[in-house]
């Protein structure tokens, strides 16, 4: 087990380095740059050269890269080129808003998907199964930002039940905070629930049709025991894989939904920094999102042994 974890951590670190390198050089291949964005197209060559020197952009690219990489190793993200604020400050202000939406979306998504998938699989061919399947297809086909627009129109504009713009921190009250993130969380959580629900249904149907399950039914084993003790344990393994991979859907959905609901989270920070060619902020946000994805996938792999201890990873256990 330790050998496997060490290999996976090393692999995760390599992926993070690859992402960091790609982002660093990829941003600088995009036409334009922060200097022209800050000074405008009419700036004199002397002003451009002075600002490039001030920002450290006049150094060779490989020098900039290694200097930046050394700062990353100490978790120092630098300063915003446009405001001069520490990038860590900007990220710490934006991250709680995005995390609030993402965590609520995951809770809603799994809370809807797992029970619905179980009910749909155990009642295959019944009206409830058809209703769940059609709803899941609709959820998969509609992006989170479109769901957010519909929710804002219905619950914010027509019914006037929930706010549709801005974010209220928990320090100002849990109820106002929940009201401000409920619609964005539902908008992101429903497409996530649709994907996980379809996998839950198909995985459980496959397990229920296994020979050992038919043998258990023939022996008169209680249906609840079969479902919760035998079937779900095996059916959840691919579901956890999909649920972990689909966290990308939650993060991307949170980014787009923030724009719909006017929330100044990581998504809005990333969009603004890319438009401004603000290299340090853009690099930091992308690396943070990549780190969440990479280490979430690692955690998903490790959860397998909790669900099914029979799974081995090779090497020393």
Helix residue ranges per DSSP H, 30-143: 34-39, 45-55, 61-73, 87-122, 127-141
CATH tag for 96-307 (out of 1.25.40.10, 1.10.3720.10, 1.10.10.10, 3.40.50.300): 1.10.3720.10
pLDDT-derived band at 79, boundaries 50, 70, 90: confident
On average, the pLDDT of the chain sits at 84
pTM: predicted TM-score of the whole model, two decimal places: 0.81
What pLDDT digit, counting tens, does each position of 101-141 carry? 989 999 999 999 999 999 998 888 888 888 988 888 888 88
Q: Is the pLDDT of residue 313 over 70?
A: no
* Residue 6, Cβ density class (10 Å: 0-12 exposed, 13-18 middle, ≥19 buried): exposed
Domain boundaries, the chain: 2-73, 96-307
* Residue 312, Cβ density class (10 Å: 0-12 exposed, 13-18 middle, ≥19 buried): exposed
Provide the CA 266 distance to its chain's centre, in angstroms.
Answer: 11
What is the rounded CA–CA span in Å between residue 235 and residue 118? 10
Which of residues 307 and 108 earns the better pLDDT score? 108
Q: What is the pLDDT of residue 316?
A: 44
Q: What is the end-to-end Cα distance of the chain in Å, rounded?
A: 4
Q: Is the pLDDT of residue 64 over 50?
A: yes
């Amino acid at each position: 087990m330790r050998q496997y974890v060490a290999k996976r951590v090393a692999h995760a670190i390599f992926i993070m380095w690859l992402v960091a390198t790609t982002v660093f050089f990829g941003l600088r291949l995009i036409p334009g740059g922060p200097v022209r964005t800050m000074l405008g197209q009419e700036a004199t060559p002397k002003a451009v050269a002075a600002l490039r020197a001030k920002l450290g952009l006049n150094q060779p690219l490989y020098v900039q890269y290694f200097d930046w990489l050394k700062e990353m190793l100490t978790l120092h993200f630098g300063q915003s080129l446009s405001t001069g604020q520490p990038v860590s400050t900007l990220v710490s202000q934006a991250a709680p808003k995005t995390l609030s939406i993402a965590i609520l979306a995951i809770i809603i998504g799994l809370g809807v998907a797992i029970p619905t998938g179980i009910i749909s699989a155990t009642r295959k061919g019944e009206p409830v199964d058809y209703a769940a399947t059609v709803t899941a297809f609709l959820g998969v086909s509609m992006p989170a930002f479109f769901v957010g627009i519909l929710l804002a129109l219905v619950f914010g504009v027509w019914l006037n039940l929930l706010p549709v713009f801005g974010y209220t921190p928990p320090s100002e009250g849990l109820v106002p905070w929940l009201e401000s993130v409920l619609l964005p969380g539902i908008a992101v959580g429903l497409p996530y629930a649709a994907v996980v629900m379809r996998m839950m249904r198909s995985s459980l149907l496959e397990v229920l049709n296994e020979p050992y399950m038919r043998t258990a039914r023939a022996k008169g084993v209680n249906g609840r025991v079969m479902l919760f003790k035998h079937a779900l344990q095996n059916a959840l393994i691919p579901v956890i894989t999909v649920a972990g991979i689909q966290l990308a859907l939650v993060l991307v959905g949170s980014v787009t939904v923030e724009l719909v609901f006017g929330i100044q989270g990581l998504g809005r920070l990333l969009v603004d920094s890319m438009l401004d060619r603000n290299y340090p902020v853009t690099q930091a946000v992308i690396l943070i999102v990549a780190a969440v994805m990479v280490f979430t996938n690692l955690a998903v792999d490790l959860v397998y042994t909790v669900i099914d201890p029979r799974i081995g990873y090779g090497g020393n256990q």
